[in-house]
Structure 1
Amino acid sequence: MSAPVSRTRRLSDGTPSREPHRSRGRDSVTAAQRQARATSADELCREAYAASAGPVAGVALVAVGGYGRSELAPHSDLDVVLVHEDGVELGDLGSTLWYPLWDSGRRLDHSVRSMGEMLDAAADLRVALGLLDARHLAGDPGLSLRLRATMLADWRRQARTRLPDLKAMTRKRHEVTGELAHASVPDVKESEGGLRDAGVLKAIEASWLVDASTPALEAARMMLLDVRDEVQELAGRPSDRIAPEMWAPLADRLDLRDAEAAQRHVRSLGRRIAHLSRLAWRRTDAVTGRSSAGTKGRRTPALARVAPGIAISRGEVVLDKGTSPGDDPTLLLRAAAEAASRDAVLAPTTAARLVREGVELPVPWPASARDALVRLLASGPGLLPVWETLDEIDGIETFLPEWEQIRLLPHASAIHRFTVDRHVVETCAAAGSLIRGVRRPDLLLVAALLHDIGKGSLQDHSVAGEPMARKIVARMGFTDLDAEVVASLVRWHLLLANLATTRDPDDPATTAELLTHVPDAASLELLRALTEADSKAASPAAWTTWRASLIDRLVSNAGHALGAELTHDLPPTSLPVPDVVRRDTGAVSVEISPHEVGATVTVIAADRVGLLADVAGGLAAMRVPVHAARAWAQVDTEGEWGVSAWEVSDAYLDPAVVRERIRRVVEGTQRMPDLPARRDDELPPIVEVRPDASRASLVLEIRTSDRPGVVHRVLTTLAGLGLTVASAHVSTLGPQAVDVFYVQEVGGVRPTEERAAAAAHAVRTALGG
């Protein structure tokens, strides 16, 4: 198990907060280096101003932005403005001042403006933010002081109209850069939770409308500045992005144990700043009359009681008058549930007091604590901000100490867009929208909370998580039977998706394998909902209409086997064969159905050996990325038909063009794209025979790096051996292709073991293994 890299500390006001690893004395060293860089740049600027013989009065050289804060990184620009009174003549100063600075080799971002022009330029939010940190360098200090005072006064005067614009600009940046806590290549400056957001919080503070600056913010900001300095030193240029290969050397520079510790450290800083930013913006919205809580134009009471011991004040959940945290061990969970269900702020000082002065929950928990947890998890969009507050003040460990094992743990799979802990919260939020479809919504929500609790150990997380979940659920006061249901869901939460996407959902052997681990309809219902929530939380690509249809088909088959009727709508098992295909056995029907993430290309033709390979070849020739595919044979009184449905990212394909490409592949006139050779740093392809997966077919499971033409190469190889594909299940998970083929001899006979081994070897060789 990975050792945690954070520890608990208390801020000066007594608020508990997590502090990421910090080497003794290291912060003072890096801060001193930044100050030394700024001092050296100051001297250079002053010497250049003196050499240019600038006027004594009415003109000043000022530093703005990061340079104004004396926080120069190793490769920062010198951001300076030569400002002058409106009537002052600069002579040659404006053109001669910059030459010594350019000659020094320093990167320079400069401008020349009058005081009037400065006010006009400040209409641009980016300029206005930089001027809030204006600092005198040379010339008339009185003018520099007046400039700073004027800019601050102008900012405060227009804050109610400018802050909403600043929020919109910040959101647009976040959409492009992602979150520092979760982005695969985070930008320590521009990502959500980065240094830019810390600067925005200081600008909010400067408006005097909201108290947005805290000791926790400044501590995180300073440590993130240290990170940025080391990133630029590693990159050797003014880059603030942390590439995957930089984590290990960054750990060395930050005196951390390893690359994972470096990730946890940096991402924890980003999460803290992002959390403080969200809290500040909610408070800003309330002040500017743009609160989502609908309080605009209404006077809210100072303190309104909403539950025993709990009240709400100005949109934030606090303790009611006279409430003592030590009298009720359920108070923290109940306050959190109240805030989340109302989509209100759980006041951090209140939450911190509850952690500091509260008493431990008894074991087993009382029903009121259990109900509060379920209500909290079911709160939908209100869950995340409240959970983040609990995380920041060490509140989660008071009722779920196992949380520390997955806190800020990076996911090993590229398909996941969040760290493990955030993924769990997103899974709970997604499960909250599915609770009406299950008979035990409380068990679904608790299973969503615990489904990845086993990660961070050396054992498979599903196996490790099962006994942990059983113990936790029993501690919460659920019955032994409920604990077994949740533990089973944790153990098999990946089973349904794996079977549906890598096996034939209509094969009785697939249903039998599912029912080996899911013994009843209620558990099947819960597993289906957990699978959807888990997939949606991973990434949009993990839950598409295509995947949902495969999972629902398998669930329906399993439900019928159990004698249960499940309500999920399923596509038809067989598709109607077009008349043109029935009349002409050489004809190919192509239909394209656009949907939310691309299109489904459905191809029907008279079945034959190599048909599926030809269709895959036609798509490969068009360089159309295939995200998933399913193929099967249909038999009716008039013949046997090959049907295939391909999920592609291009919603604007022309059916006639696809038909033409398939025809040219059949005729051998289509030049196929070369399959790129496997790189040295790529794992070799895995081609395995699954002898027990089907009674009627040879099942080949293939895992390889996703490259153009993989499916075509596999199918062509099988066709060359005289083998037919009864059904195929193709899926792409991030950079990996996971393809399963149900293979038969001509006539529907299951291949022998020798033929199976030969097919596996031939496919492995074709893929470069």
Structure 2
Amino acid sequence: MSEPTISDQRAIIDRRALATKVEALASEQGAKARPEVVAALKEALETGRAEMERRLEAKPSAGHAIAGGYSFLVDQLVRVIHEYVTSYVYPAANRSSGERLAVMAVGGYGRSEMAPQSDVDIAFLVGERRNAWCEQVVEAMLYLLWDLGLKVGHSTRTLDEAIRLAKDDLTIRTSLLEGRYVWGDRELYEEGERRFTLEVVKGNERAFLSQKLEERNARHKKMGDSRYVVEPNIKDGKGGLRDLQTLYWIGKFIHRVRSASELVDAGLMTANEYRTFRRAERFLLAVRCHMHAITGRAEDRLTFDLQRRVAERMNFADRPGKSAVERFMQFYFLQVKHVGSLTGIFLAHIEDDLAQRAARGGFFATFRQKPRSVKGYRVFGGRIAAPSDDYFRKDPVRLVEIFQVAEADGLEIHPETMRQAARDAKLIDGDIREDKRANALFVELLSGRNDPETVLRWMNEAGVFGRFVPDFGKVNAQMQFDMYHHYTVDEHTIRAIGLLSQIEKGELKSDHPRATRLIHKVASRRVAYVAALLHDIAKGRGGDHSVLGAEVAHELCPRFGLSQTETELVAWLVLNHLLMSHTAQKRDLTDPKTIEDFVGQVQSIERLRHLAILTAVDIRAVGPGTWNSWKGQLLGELYDSASERLRLGHMRHGREQKVAAKKDQVSQDLGDKAGLVESLGDIFGDAYWIAEPLDIIALNLVHYDAARKMEHELSVHCEYYEARGATLVTVIAADHPGLFYRIAGGIHLAGGNIIDARIHTTRTGWALDNFLVQDPHGQPFSEEQQLERLKTSIADALANRVDLTPKLAQRPLPHSRSKAFDVSPRVLFDNKASNRFTVIEVNARDRPALLNRLARVLFESRLVVHSAHITNYGERAVDTFYVTDLTGGKLLEGERQNRIEAQLVEAASDALQARLEDA
């Protein structure tokens, strides 16, 4: 963007020495010198690259110097190659006016921003018409560049063609806009520059701006439309290098600037903003250079495994509560946040500038829309602005007020005022934080009725949010280094608040019908919004963020003006915000003890309502696809059971009444097959009738009856189960030890992930097992071919037609990037969670057939699995088993439990996986 200063250039490449060597070879050997010329060029390239790698290692953050150094290296090689080709390969003593050739660097190369594996983008500019000499020279130069192993993007155009195409094609227009002279006919290049300004740029400024913004928005959408995704694209993602380049392109097109520093002279940036611009650009360029150096390819996606390695190379170190990689990514997100703020201010300046130009010369030059005043602020064209430069300095509470007014009245904040707010945010001190009016305004904004999410994001980008709530400032741009969370903590929190607002307005009723009802029943809606703000506020401090967050809530809520009752409720919600999701996903909801324990912690309907709402927005704000109908169903079942228990003081029906009521309902649902309940009802024990939903019982009875009439030794039924967003797989077989782990293995071999399993044995010795299955992307199997594959695979596993262990070890892990994380297996035994069963919970790295392996250990340990519940958190899996010993008793503490724990840890370990893969 601006010509980089490159120190000790000859250490990178000595062009004179290289040119002298090439001339000597060509003079002596003529055309036969080519292999030796290539060798000399290659040696110079490799020496230059080695020098740049050394410099990157010595100064790992010097993005401009490194990117400029690589460009300088290529420049010198191109110049030597051009001279060699035009002097010795295709010399032309008396060139005609048409035989003119200029070599231009375009793209990243044109900006002098090259990472180690970047493409070399070259435009060859030809004089009046294409001719044989020019084509021969271009071809010879390209072959030499290719022989060096460089990836070359190239075009050859006459001056007229280049100008014509630039008028029609945005990509070509942008490419020529940043074209840089490298070698050849300088007069031709300068003529092209003049014509480009006169014929392409002049009069097309507004069109270029709108096209560039459209292009930028489309790119953002493709990349996830947030600058806070945890595996960002450093080049094309929001706030990345391409956004910085877009600012420069627009500035260059509209204000004819030649370097980024001239954006200050044009009044588009302050000197301070320019420093921020350069700092962000330097850091992003450095990160990109490290990524290329590590991977050996043009890699732009900052994946989890790369994050750790780049952090190490850039000398980030661990700190209490934050690992080196989390500190590196927090710095990264702060830089892209600065890019976002700069973009808003810059574009507003450009728009105002163009509007003023149009007004000066147009029909409406004398027409001015009158600004109105709202609470002392100027409102004009849907934007709110501070009336003077010292407005916030006179009363810093206004730094909160302006955002509240913007949210309440549905206004945008003028970028110049955003700039003022960012500049004056430091005025928010302890007195302002304790100011009653400021806190009332903040809570009003937080629980605003229009769009609190967008306005809180503006407040965060201006730096006002973190100053007013310093605890929030600590999680600003903080990454959560795992594959479950898609966003930084501050972005996740702001999204959760936005989702809560959408639920309150009824906009998410189809996905969250229960939360949509409950939000209008709670005693204090601001409790819901403050709890959403504070639920993750203590992440990254070391220790349990729920416990630490509850302490923060006790401090902050009184400051926000919440009553003691509201404060206690918010603190309880923050402390227990994971309770409902963990209970629903990891425990057997048909076990009365599960509900008893949950209700014992919740204790009131008001807490339950708030917890259900907070749980829904927290899960959904994690990222796309984390909320699904299966989670909704589980949370709904838990809510309904707990609500009934809290309202009545007991469960409405005892065990016998519950079974009788379910049998009556299933009889009605079965219609003309109602007799199956009478004939088969007693074959299945009470546990079956309590555990299974009505629709699954009806399916099971029909299936079981048909299988027995046909005397099938094995019957497998698969169907898409829409209510839970999964595929229901029912297996009926003669019960025998090891059945569960074999079925699990068969499902895994067919590419299925088991998300829930219930294991039943009839009084006649037949096993009936129900599994809910999804593909590796969390989607159900629904096509006939997929369902057949599941059936065949289960049948093969049960008939011992496949050797499960080696076959399963060969299956690829859907999240291969999970190896970037340290996940040590942990096993917990709980004899208090159920009156009848021992609950075993295994936390481990997600991998192929983990469930099969764990179930096999339980089988070999002579334990009976009654139900299994499987939860995935990105790279981490949590598998929970309800088990008894062969006599139906619990597994007591002691040597046997210790032995089983060791075997389960071994089965879930990385070491075992590696041994199996090697075998």
Partner of 1:415: 484
Q: Any unmatched runs of 5+ in structure 2?
A: 1-55, 256-265, 318-323, 356-363, 505-515, 650-690, 814-818, 913-919
Deviation larger for 62-71 or 587-596: 587-596
User: 1:172/1:454 Cα in 2 relative to 1: closer, same or farther (>3 Å)?
Assistant: same
- Higher-helix-fraction structure: 2
Partner of 2:809: 676
Residues 640-651 of structure 1 aligned to structure 2 (within 5 Å): 642-648=769-775, 649-651=779-781
> 1:263, CA displacement in angstroms?
2.2
Which amino acid in 2 is paired with 1:270? V
> 1:614, CA displacement in angstroms?
4.7
Residues 244-643 of structure 1 aligned to structure 2 (within 5 Å): 244-247=304-307, 250-251=310-311, 254=314, 256-257=316-317, 258-277=324-343, 301-305=369-373, 307-320=374-387, 324-326=391-393, 328-340=395-407, 344-354=411-421, 356=424, 362=432, 364-366=434-436, 369-376=439-446, 378=448, 383-384=453-454, 386-435=455-504, 437-438=518-519, 439=522, 440-563=524-647, 572=693, 575-576=697-698, 577-585=700-708, 588=715, 590-593=717-720, 599-603=726-730, 605=732, 608=735, 612-626=740-754, 628-631=755-758, 633=760, 642-643=769-770
Deviation larger for 244-253 or 329-338: 244-253
Q: For 2:209 and 2:120, locate their aligned partners in 1 and report how far apart those are by CA, in whole Å.
A: 27
User: 1:174/1:607 Cα in 2 relative to 1: closer, same or farther (>3 Å)?
Assistant: farther
Deviation larger for 503-512 or 628-637: 628-637
> 1:557, CA displacement in angstroms?
1.5
Contact 1:363–1:477 (CA under 8 A) maintained in structure 2: no
> 1:688, CA displacement in angstroms?
2.5
Which digits, 9 at most, give the CA deviation of each residue in 1:69-110, with x for residues without a partner?
A: 233334444322221233474624334444665666665433
> 1:511, CA displacement in angstroms?
2.2
Q: For 2:820 and 2:488, locate their aligned partners in 1 and report how far apart those are by CA, in whole Å.
A: 29
Q: 1:223 aligned to 2:283?
A: yes
Which amino acid in 1 is paired with 2:416? T
Contact 1:339–1:382 (CA under 8 A) maintained in structure 2: no
Q: For 1:639 and 1:551, locate their aligned partners in 2 and report how far apart those are by CA, in whole Å.
A: 31
Contact 2:345–2:416 (CA under 8 A) maintained in structure 1: no
Contact 1:181–1:193 (CA under 8 A) maintained in structure 2: yes
User: 1:587/1:250 Cα in 2 relative to 1: closer, same or farther (>3 Å)?
Assistant: closer
User: 1:600/1:98 Cα in 2 relative to 1: closer, same or farther (>3 Å)?
Assistant: closer
Normalising to structure 1: TM-score of the pair? 0.82
User: 1:575/1:596 Cα in 2 relative to 1: closer, same or farther (>3 Å)?
Assistant: closer
Contact 1:521–1:564 (CA under 8 A) maintained in structure 2: no
Which digits, 9 at most, give the CA deviation of each residue in 1:166-199, with x for residues without a partner?
A: 4454445445545795455444223332212211
> 1:637, CA displacement in angstroms?
13
Describe the SS at the equivalent of 2:647.
coil
Describe the SS at the equivalent of 1:459.
coil
Describe the SS at the equivalent of 2:804.
coil
Partner of 2:878: 738
| Structural RMSD (CA) | 4.2
User: 1:353/1:97 Cα in 2 relative to 1: closer, same or farther (>3 Å)?
Assistant: closer
User: 1:50/1:725 Cα in 2 relative to 1: closer, same or farther (>3 Å)?
Assistant: closer
Q: 1:667 aligned to 2:790?
A: no
Deviation larger for 170-179 or 257-266: 170-179
Deviation larger for 353-362 or 256-265: 353-362
Contact 2:341–2:462 (CA under 8 A) maintained in structure 1: no
Which digits, 9 at most, give the CA deviation of each residue in 1:211-263, with x for residues without a partner?
A: 97652434422332233334444555544444545556645654544443332
Q: For 2:723 and 2:394, locate their aligned partners in 1 and report how far apart those are by CA, in whole Å.
A: 52
Q: For 2:726 and 2:225, locate their aligned partners in 1 and report how far apart those are by CA, in whole Å.
A: 29
Which amino acid in 1 is paired with 2:327? A
Normalising to structure 2: TM-score of the pair? 0.70
User: 1:709/1:250 Cα in 2 relative to 1: closer, same or farther (>3 Å)?
Assistant: closer
Contact 1:594–1:651 (CA under 8 A) maintained in structure 2: no
Partner of 1:19: none
> 1:489, CA displacement in angstroms?
1.0
Q: 1:705 aligned to 2:841?
A: no
> 1:201, CA displacement in angstroms?
2.3
Which digits, 9 at most, give the CA deviation of each residue in 1:642-688, with x for residues without a partner?
A: 43333443433434553444344343335435343999997553332
Partner of 2:243: 197
Q: For 2:772 and 2:855, locate their aligned partners in 1 and report how far apart those are by CA, in whole Å.
A: 15
Q: 1:154 aligned to 2:200?
A: yes
Residues 54-73 of structure 1 aligned to structure 2 (within 5 Å): 59-73=101-115
Partner of 1:7: none
Partner of 2:21: none
User: 1:334/1:85 Cα in 2 relative to 1: closer, same or farther (>3 Å)?
Assistant: same
> 1:449, CA displacement in angstroms?
1.0
Which one has the largest radius of gyration?
2
Partner of 2:10: none
User: 1:734/1:343 Cα in 2 relative to 1: closer, same or farther (>3 Å)?
Assistant: farther
- Higher-strand-fraction structure: 1
> 1:623, CA displacement in angstroms?
2.4
Contact 1:509–1:695 (CA under 8 A) maintained in structure 2: yes
Contact 2:384–2:412 (CA under 8 A) maintained in structure 1: yes
Describe the SS at the equivalent of 2:835.
coil
User: 1:120/1:510 Cα in 2 relative to 1: closer, same or farther (>3 Å)?
Assistant: farther
Q: 1:138 aligned to 2:183?
A: yes
Q: For 1:684 and 1:32, locate their aligned partners in 2 and report how far apart those are by CA, in whole Å.
A: 41
Out of 681, 685, 700, the position equivalent to 2:825 is 685
> 1:425, CA displacement in angstroms?
1.4
Deviation larger for 414-423 or 142-151: 142-151
User: 1:116/1:713 Cα in 2 relative to 1: closer, same or farther (>3 Å)?
Assistant: same
Q: For 1:366 and 1:607, locate their aligned partners in 2 and report how far apart those are by CA, in whole Å.
A: 71
Q: For 2:61 and 2:535, locate their aligned partners in 1 and report how far apart those are by CA, in whole Å.
A: 42
Which amino acid in 1 is paired with 2:110? G
Q: For 1:455 and 1:606, locate their aligned partners in 2 and report how far apart those are by CA, in whole Å.
A: 48
Which amino acid in 2 is paired with 1:345? E
Contact 2:629–2:725 (CA under 8 A) maintained in structure 1: no
Contact 1:546–1:647 (CA under 8 A) maintained in structure 2: no
Aligned residues: 731
Which digits, 9 at most, give the CA deviation of each residue in 1:343-396, with x for residues without a partner?
A: 653234324434628665656553674354343455676624x44433343211
Q: Any unmatched runs of 5+ in structure 1?
A: 1-22, 290-297
Describe the SS at the equivalent of 1:645.
strand
User: 1:588/1:62 Cα in 2 relative to 1: closer, same or farther (>3 Å)?
Assistant: same
> 1:441, CA displacement in angstroms?
2.1
> 1:691, CA displacement in angstroms?
1.3
Which amino acid in 1 is paired with 2:610? L
Q: For 2:234 and 2:67, locate their aligned partners in 1 and report how far apart those are by CA, in whole Å.
A: 17
